[in-house]
Each structure stands twice: as structure tokens, then as C-alpha cells.
């Protein structure tokens, strides 16, 4: 099970999932339902990272029920935290906050400060998804301070990435670049390929937002990175933005189609997707791209994945 978790963290989610599934089968044969449920938590996390949120949710709900039966407060709280991420991905921030509140109470009762800080990070993402940038920033800063004190670099990098997104979407490009570079250094030190690619995509987006000539080079550097577990939707949207800058209208429309198809054209989307689309709506797009952007924004609005009063500035 642990080997599977490590494999996923190192960019091999397929291998990780296979190893964790083997562990679940072994625990089932041994009749160890608690260990099986704990392995299901890891499996749910891997499926979430792979973008299979429905399967992740089913697995985590099953694990949560079993861990509650075994009075495993830590395991149940971890399930609730991961479940909150799946609900945030479909824009159901109310349900996500409810789950995080339950997880936070459990973590607080057992004195698990890391879990409390992780809840605050996910709450920051829920606020960010709801375009409440001020509250999202405050949560990220508070969580970052705790995670630094606890010497948890992966969590700290996640906070820096969230702060970079907030700064980018409020057009504070200097702060966005500073936070992104800090996050990138941590992910490189951890040898976390997913984190490295996500952060490099943010740096490319900052260049595109500023109209820098180096934007195309940064996008090309991201394209050179190929992973099984990767932010495909964010990658396609960044490519679409570059195509818009270069007036390659057919390519822009194609990348938008590819981005929307990543999660099966459902209400599920990456954490930065609504904000990028909102920014795109203020740009000039010729050909079929703009109707695609409008349709996607409308679909996200119907699913509750974003709010009409979103304050993302267009450049």
C-alpha cells in the first residue's frame, strides 16, 4: 500500500493504483476490514488525482463508513477531506465545506495539527472556486504558516501554488510569479512531477497574461513534459490561450474542445478552469472559439461550479 502511494507521488499513478489494489485484495483475504478501508483511502486519493472523481467518491464513501465502524477518527477525517476535494471539483462548495467541518472536528479532537492545516488548504480551494479571493488568500497564508512550522513541504508547496493562482487571477503578476517559483523549487526538491508541471503551467499563463514574448517558449517547455497523472485540462487551456495570442483560431477551438473533453464533458473541471474561462471571455477570439467558451461558462454556471460575479480581470 505504501509503495503504491509513493509510486503515485513520483508520477506513476498506474503502478501505484495496481499496488494499492493488490493490497486491498490481500487485506480482504485476511479479513482485515480496517486495513482494507485504510488502503481504500489511498486508492480514492489516486483516483481523484487521475481525474476519476466518481470512482474516487464511491471508494471513499465506502472507506469512510468502514473506518467509522472501527472508530478510526483519523482515517474517517482523511476520507472527508478527500471527499471534499471531489465535491469542490464539481462546484459543490457547500457540501465540501460541510465535509471539511466534520473532518476538522475529528482532527481537532485527536490533536492532529497537520490534518487541520490540510482542511484549511482545501477550504481555501473551496473559497477560490467560489471566487472569494480574499478569504481564499487568508486561508492559504494561515495554512502555509502552520505547514512550515510542521515542516511539511508538500503542503507548503500546495499553499504557494494556490497563492500563485489567486495572484494571477487578480492580475498581481509579480506576486503570482514569486509564489509560483517558490512552489516550483519545493516540487523540484520533492521530485513531484505533477506539482512541477502544474506550476510551470502557471508561469506560462502569467507570461501570456502579461503578453510576454517568452510565453510560447514556456508553453513548449510544458509540452515537453509527459505524465500519466497530469493536469490535462489546464494544459489544453494554456495551449488555447497561446493559440489565441498567435491568432491560430482553429487550434484555439481544438484545444478548448480537448480541454472540455478531459472529464467527459461533465461539470467536473480543474481548480483553475473556471477562472481561465472567465478571463478568456474578455479576450478577442475569432472563429468558433468564443461560442465554445460561452457555452462552457454557461454549463459551469448551471452546475454551480462558478458565480456570475467572478472578478477575474481580462487582459
Asked if the model's pLDDT at residue 305 lies above 80, the reply is no
Chain-centre distance of CA 307, in angstroms?
A: 19
Q: How confident is the model over 114-123, as a mean pLDDT?
A: 95
Report yes or no on 50 lying in a domain.
Answer: no
Asked if the model's pLDDT at residue 52 lies above 90, the reply is no
Q: How confident is the model at residue 242 (pLDDT cuts 50, 70, 90)?
A: very high
Task: Give, in order, the Cα–Cα distances in Å from 186 to each of 7, 158, 203.
Answer: 18, 10, 15
Task: Give, in order, the Cα–Cα distances in Å from 187 to each of 9, 139, 200, 228.
Answer: 11, 21, 11, 17
Asked if the model's pLDDT at residue 17 lies above 50, the reply is yes
C-alpha cell of residue 49: 488525482
Mean pLDDT of the chain, nearest integer:
89
Q: What percent of the chain has pLDDT over 70?
A: 89
Report yes or no on 10 lying in a domain.
Answer: no
Q: For residue 235, what are the domain limits?
A: 231-315
Report yes or no on 274 lying in a domain.
Answer: yes
CA distance 277 to 28: 45
Q: How confident is the model at residue 307 (pLDDT cuts 50, 70, 90)?
A: very low
Report yes or no on 288 lying in a domain.
Answer: yes
**According to the model, what pLDDT value does residue 278 have?**
96
Report yes or no on 259 lying in a domain.
Answer: yes
The answer to whether 197 touches 222, Cβ cutoff 8 Å, is: yes
Query: Nearest Cα to 227, choosing from 3, 1, 14, 47?
Result: 14
C-alpha cell of residue 90: 464539481
Asked if the model's pLDDT at residue 9 lies above 70, the reply is no
Buried b (16+ CB within 10 A) or exposed e, 145-157: ebbeeeebbebbb
Report yes or no on 26 lying in a domain.
Answer: no
Residue 29 has a CB neighbour count (10 Å cut-off) of 9
The residue among 214 and 314 whose pLDDT is bigger is 214
Asked if the model's pLDDT at residue 12 lies above 80, the reply is no
**According to the model, what pLDDT value does residue 21 have?**
84
With H, G, I as helix, E, B as strand and everything else as coil, classify residue 286: coil
Q: How confident is the model at residue 104 (pLDDT cuts 50, 70, 90)?
A: very high
Report yes or no on 236 lying in a domain.
Answer: yes
Q: How confident is the model at residue 227 (pLDDT cuts 50, 70, 90)?
A: confident
**According to the model, what pLDDT value does residue 311 have?**
42
Q: How confident is the model over 219-227, as a mean pLDDT?
A: 91
C-alpha cell of residue 82: 478527500
Total number of domains constituting the chain? 1
The residue among 4 and 212 whose pLDDT is bigger is 212
Q: How confident is the model over 287-302, as a mean pLDDT?
A: 92
**According to the model, what pLDDT value does residue 312 have?**
44
The answer to whether 74 touches 96, Cβ cutoff 8 Å, is: no
Report yes or no on 266 lying in a domain.
Answer: yes
Asked if the model's pLDDT at residue 272 lies above 70, the reply is yes
DSSP H helical ranges for the chain: 2-9, 13-30, 33-49, 53-69, 73-89, 93-109, 113-129, 133-149, 153-169, 173-190, 193-210, 215-223, 232-245, 249-261, 273-280, 289-303
**According to the model, what pLDDT value does residue 123 have?**
95
Residue 58 has a CB neighbour count (10 Å cut-off) of 15
The residue among 161 and 14 whose pLDDT is bigger is 161
The answer to whether 184 touches 164, Cβ cutoff 8 Å, is: no
Q: How confident is the model at residue 14 (pLDDT cuts 50, 70, 90)?
A: low
Amino acid at each position: 500500500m505504501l509503495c503504491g502511494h509513493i509510486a503515485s507521488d513520483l508520477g506513476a499513478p498506474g503502478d501505484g493504483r495496481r499496488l494499492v489494489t493488490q493490497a486491498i485484495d490481500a487485506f480482504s483475504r485476511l479479513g482485515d476490514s480496517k486495513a482494507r478501508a485504510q488502503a481504500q483511502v489511498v486508492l480514492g486519493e489516486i483516483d481523484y488525482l487521475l481525474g476519476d472523481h466518481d470512482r474516487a467518491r464511491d471508494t471513499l464513501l465506502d472507506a469512510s463508513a468502514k473506518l467509522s465502524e472501527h472508530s478510526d477518527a483519523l482515517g474517517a477525517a482523511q476520507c472527508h477531506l478527500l471527499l471534499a476535494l471531489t465535491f469542490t471539483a464539481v462546484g459543490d462548495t457547500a457540501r465540501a465545506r460541510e465535509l471539511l467541518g466534520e473532518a476538522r472536528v475529528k482532527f481537532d479532537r485527536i490533536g492532529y495539527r497537520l490534518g487541520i492545516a490540510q482542511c484549511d488548504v482545501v477550504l481555501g480551494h473551496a473559497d477560490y472556486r467560489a471566487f472569494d479571493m480574499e478569504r481564499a488568500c487568508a486561508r492559504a497564508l494561515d495554512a502555509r504558516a502552520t505547514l512550515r512550522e510542521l515542516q511539511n513541504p508538500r503542503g507548503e508547496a500546495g499553499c504557494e501554488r494556490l497563492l500563485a493562482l489567486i495572484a494571477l487571477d487578480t492580475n498581481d503578476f509579480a506576486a503570482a510569479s514569486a509564489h509560483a517559483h517558490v512552489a516550483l523549487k519545493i516540487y523540484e526538491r520533492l521530485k513531484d512531477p505533477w506539482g512541477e508541471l502544474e506550476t510551470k503551467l502557471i508561469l506560462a499563463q502569467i507570461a501570456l497574461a502579461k503578453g510576454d514574448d517568452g510565453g510560447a517558449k514556456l508553453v513548449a517547455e510544458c509540452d515537453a513534459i509527459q505524465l500519466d497523472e497530469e493536469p490535462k485540462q489546464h494544459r489544453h487551456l494554456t495551449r488555447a490561450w497561446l493559440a489565441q495570442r498567435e491568432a491560430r483560431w482553429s487550434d484555439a477551438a481544438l484545444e478548448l474542445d480537448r480541454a472540455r473533453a478531459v472529464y467527459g464533458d461533465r461539470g467536473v473541471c480543474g481548480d483553475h478552469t473556471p477562472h481561465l474561462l472567465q478571463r478568456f471571455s474578455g479576450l478577442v477570439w475569432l472563429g468558433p472559439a468564443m461560442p465554445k467558451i460561452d457555452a462552457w461558462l454557461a454549463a459551469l454556471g448551471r452546475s454551480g461550479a462558478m458565480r456570475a460575479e467572478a472578478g477575474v480581470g481580462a487582459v
